[in-house]
Amino acid sequence: MYSQTANQFMPSVLRSFALSLAFSFLGTLAGVYVPAGLFFPLAIVEMVMLLSAFFLRRRKMVSYSFLYIFTFISGITIYPIVAHYLAISGPNTVMLAFASTTTIFTGLAIYATKTKRNFSFLGGFLMAALLALVSISIFNIFWPLGTTAMLAYSFIGVMVFSGYVLFDFNRMKRHGVRHEEVPLMALNLYLNFINLFLDLLRIFGILSSKD
């Protein structure tokens, strides 16, 4: 159950999460100057770091340096996506996606930390849905999805990562956060936010192209 003592490091998680977004934003700005041929290798590095964090999280906690290096690289690899939608849909679509992400994320975070409901039951469902999304994204590399299928995929992504926001904040409220867990929890929140943003950006981009 929740206790103030056990949860004293939640503000540290939120500060680290905010810094992660700042490093990601700096990475996106730096992406302007990155040669096109480097984006794929950086995406591979990002994936290897993410898998390392996932498989080693129980034996070795994620460090702050790992967190900020990862989020900076993540920001660089996000740049081509943002640039694509800036080109085809304009800055309003990107700003709308970011504002919507911030609103949804904040609303769900507040609800998850104020409600008496326990969302731990979502863990298994969310993991299964996440694995399905990853499988579809790999499939999409070789056999691109149509517009309608991509729209459905993005809506499902919004639901999954919204669920993870509820799950992670509710878990922190109920079980607290140890000092050594702060960077890992901040990484979880960053991934929730960024994936929610990318799914919403894709949705708004697709819908704007149909106007």
pLDDT in tens, 71-104: 999 999 999 999 999 999 899 999 999 999 999 9
Look up the pTM and report it.
0.91
For the chain, the distance separating the N- and C-terminal CA atoms, rounded to the nearest angstrom, is 49
Average pLDDT over residues 36-63: 82
Do the Cβ atoms of 46 and 190 come closer than 8 Å? no
Q: State the pLDDT confidence band at 35, using cuts at 50, 70 and 90.
A: very high
pLDDT of residue 58: 56
Exposed/middle/buried for residue 208 (C-beta within 10 Å: 0-12, 13-18, 19+): middle
Name the residue with higher pLDDT: 27 or 139.
27
Do the Cβ atoms of 49 and 66 come closer than 8 Å? yes
Domain-by-domain residue ranges, the chain? 10-209
Q: State the pLDDT confidence band at 2, using cuts at 50, 70 and 90.
A: very low
Instruction: Report the alpha-carbon angle 189-182-68, nearest 5.
Output: 70
pLDDT of residue 181: 86
pLDDT at 194 over 70: yes
pLDDT of residue 8: 74
